[in-house]
Amino acid sequence: ELWLSIGSFREQIEYLAANNFQLLSIDDALDALEGKKRMPNGRPLCLTFDNGYQDFQEHVYPLLCQYGYPATLLISPLRVGKSRKIENTAIPYLSWNTLRELVQNNVTVGAFEDHSLAIHQVPEAVLKRHIVDHKNMLEDELGVEIRYFGIKEGIPNRAVRELMASQGYRAFLTQCPTYRRPNLDWVGRIQVDDDDFNIFLTKISSTYLFF
Contact between 76 and 134 (Cβ < 8 Å):
yes
pLDDT at 27: 95
What is the rounded distance in angstroms from the CA atom of residue 78 to the CA atom of residue 154?
21
Residue 91: C-alpha distances to residues 4, 53, 87, 159, 163 (Å): 15, 7, 10, 35, 33
pLDDT at 41: 72
> What is the percent of the chain where pLDDT is above 90?
76
* pLDDT tens, position by position, 69-123: 999 999 999 999 999 998 888 999 999 999 999 999 989 999 999 989 899 999 9
Average confidence (pLDDT) over 128-138: 98
Chain centroid to Cα 158, Å, comes to 22
pTM comes to 0.93
State the chain's mean pLDDT as an integer.
92
Q: Is 72 exposed, middle or buried (0-12, 13-18, 19+ CB in 10 A)?
A: buried
Strand partners, 82: none
Helix (H) or strand (E) holding 77: none
* pLDDT tens, position by position, 22-48: 999 999 999 988 889 887 777 889 999
* pLDDT tens, position by position, 180-202: 777 899 999 999 988 999 999 99
